[in-house]
Amino acid sequence: MASEGRDTALAFLLGVVAGGVTALLLAPDRGSETRRRLRDGARDLYQKGEGSFSTAKDLVGERAHELADTAKHRVDNLTQVARSQAGAVREAVNEGRDAYKRELSRTETD
């Protein structure tokens, strides 16, 4: 769905540029004035695009940091759970071993 929005925005921008170029080329100005307007329009468009790219880059960088932090917290939580479960298993094994030894010594004394 986001791709459709980008495609629509790109089509709109291309339409605006094509319309602007057509209007400038068909305008009854001198060639030097038309070229100046085209040059100024291209510079303005470039600057706006550069600003939009910079903003998008910053947003992507911020989102990447947020995702990295979230992933780190999840890994930390999973590590803590795994350690806790490993401790519980270790304790159960020790209890089982102790119970086995008690049972073995009880049967030897009988």
Q: Residue ranges of the domains in the chain?
A: 2-109
Count the alpha carbons within 13 Å of 2 in the hemisphere toward its beta carbon: 0
Q: Is the pLDDT of residue 76 over 80?
A: yes
Q: Among 11, 36, 6, 37, which Cα is nearest to 23's?
A: 37
In tens, the pLDDT along 14-47 reads 888 888 777 767 767 677 877 788 788 888 888 8
The mean pLDDT value of the chain amounts to 85
Q: Is the pLDDT of residue 94 over 80?
A: yes
Q: Is the pLDDT of residue 75 over 80?
A: yes
Between 1 and 110, the higher pLDDT residue: 110
